[in-house]
Chain A
Amino acid sequence: MIGRWTGLALGCAALLAAGIGPAEAQEKPKKITIGFLNLVNAQLITKGLGLHEKAMPGIEIEWIKIGGGGDMLRAIAGNQVDFGGIGNPPSAIGVTRGLPIKGIFVLNMLGYVEAMAVRTSKNIKAMKDLEGKTVAAPFGSTTHYLLMTAMRDAGVDASKVKMLDLNPNDIALAWARGDIDAAWYWEPNLDKAVKDGGEILIHSGTMAERGYPTWDIGVVMTSFAEKHPGLVETFLKSECQAVDFWVKNPETSAELIAKELSLPLEDATRMMKGTEMVPCDKQLTDAYLGTPEKKGQFTDTLVKTATFLVEQKRLPKVLPKADFEAFLAPEYLQKVLK
């Protein structure tokens, strides 16, 4: 009896050793998890064309669709993704909270794909007219940040505006019921409000021109990047190919995106036009990530966003600029482009 048990134990140990052995020798993960945002950008092209799967054979690529920045932060904090994407407010939150992530490439710059729809019958012609109205935005998102900033700059008395925290789906619902007068949120639901008695008062592209750009940035878990720097470069190479594909083949791209998000083709085309993709070589210029030696203006946006969140009492304090610079890691992209 004892002999049989010992044999079994030895067998198990051998199996375990066999299982661990080759994986250690290759130093490659078996699986890479990519959390992607429910937004229109070139990452959907990467996914649709299977670029990562082709570039990293032998590694299982798992794609997880994540609804918004808050959920993405939780996924990152829980170490459930290797790569992810977040807007500038969640990035500022993540850096301040010390999440172990690095921003490695620009996913997209937000234009009129995010905008404030106002109900035409309510006669809202300027930000000031929002006083006494009910306005919705998903709190903690890029649009919440822009809404509060635009109201502040226009001298709107925020205490006279009834602010509601609603996610985009609930905004669409509340709009259809007539519960809200205005909402700053994003496609694909934005167009529904415009067609249902609404008009666009201001969009995120206008705010970018005023010095408040909003964007989404691709991030990698720091531990993953330290362990597999080569894979981060392979990853970026595919993402850059997808951005080029987006620029060169807008029609095929629209078809791919329509399929990935189950949207009508015309919606996908409209949303693509409202989103700016930044070619990879441009991402290393001062307007974006910058270089490892001199980080770009994304740092300023992060500091601005963090300051806003501190004013909103959503963050305890604004960290020194160096912490936000440390979050940006253009060195991987630089190596890819060399």
Chain B
Amino acid sequence: MRAAVPETIGSRPTSWALRLRATPGVISVASSALLLLAWFALAWTELANPLFLPGPVQVAAKLYEIAVEGYQGATLAEHLATSLGRILAGFGLACAVGIPLGVMMGLSRNVQAALNPMIEFYRPLPPLGLYTVLVMWLGIGEASKLALLFLAGLPGIIISTTQAVSSIDLIYTRAARSLGAGQRALFWHVFLPAAGPTILTGMRISLGFTYTVLVAAEIVAASAGIGWMIWDAAKFLLSDVVIGGLFVLGLTGVALDFLMRVLGRLLMPWTR
């Protein structure tokens, strides 16, 4: 009986076209290609004002120019390195603080009760509003930028870690304890394997949040970074730089997320 189930799902399609349609990868590629095609068409027919929506060729050419000659004193790689450095530092800090806090909150209802109001209060604050205060306290340099990225990434990690730890079945803990496991063994062999996948999901979501505040973080007194480049170019109506910058952010975001998933599979092979 059991063998019958996969057979019906994977039953051979009558033609190769049908099989092609069934692969999710193909659908993703097709939908992306369709969008790109629509963009080409809009640019080519000049239905859209090129001032607001420059064509893909123009955007690609501009990106190439920035990669080779640079934009306002830094090449694309340098802008990207600056931004990624900020993002990874902010995100790393968020993980370093958020995961232990989340574990403590998941294990103790008292800790959770003590910290929850603060987290729930600042979590929905708009990043630009928060940033104004951070600039007042920490100045216009790197510290305020890192703090904003850190604060954007923190809640996602704390909430998912808390959730992950508090939902661990007590039976596992008791079983391990009765077999003589100490605190360290419990952490490595029970908590981490059970909570790891959810924490990883939280980290991925949190990296996304960190990304969304990048432009806000680089508005004040930056002179490099993809977010700054987008902001600066918008002032001069350089829409090809703006759209190109957004593409770079989007693509690196996808790449980072992919990396995190690969890392998760390597570290936690049991999630597969």
Interface, chain A (partner B; CB < 8 A): 70, 73-74, 77, 93-94, 97-99, 136, 139-140, 163-166, 170, 173-174, 177, 179-180, 309, 313-315
Contacts and interface: CB of A to CB of B under 8 A. Distances in A.
Interface stretch (B13-21, B134-142, B179-187): B134-142
A97 B72 CA distance: 19
Contact of B232 (A73, A165, A315): A165
Interface in B221-272: 221-223, 228, 232, 234-238
Interface in B100-114: none
Interface residues of B, number: 20
B237 A165 contact: no
Interface in B117-152: 135-136, 139-141
A247 B4 CA distance: 93
A165 B222 contact: yes
A74 B232 CA distance: 13
Contacts of B64: none
A164 B221 contact: yes
Contacts of A97: 51, 237
Given A93-B236, A166-B221, A313-B72, A179 B140 contact: yes
Interface in B163-178: none
A108 to B, nearest CB: 21
A170 B52 contact: no
B70 to A, nearest CB: 9
B136 A73 contact: no
B38 to A, nearest CB: 22
A136 B72 contact: no
A70 B234 contact: yes
A1 to B, nearest CB: 41
Interface of B: 51-52, 71-72, 135-136, 139-141, 220-223, 228, 232, 234-238
Contacts of A315: 236
Contacts of B235: 70, 73, 139-140
A98 B140 CA distance: 35
A189 to B, nearest CB: 15
Given A140-B235, A179-B139, A174 B52 contact: no
Given A97-B51, A165-B232, A174 B237 contact: no
Given A93-B237, A177-B139, A139 B232 contact: yes
A173 B236 contact: no
B87 to A, nearest CB: 20
User: Closest 5 A-B residue pairs measured CB to CB?
Assistant: A70-B235, A140-B235, A164-B221, A314-B236, A97-B237
B204 to A, nearest CB: 33
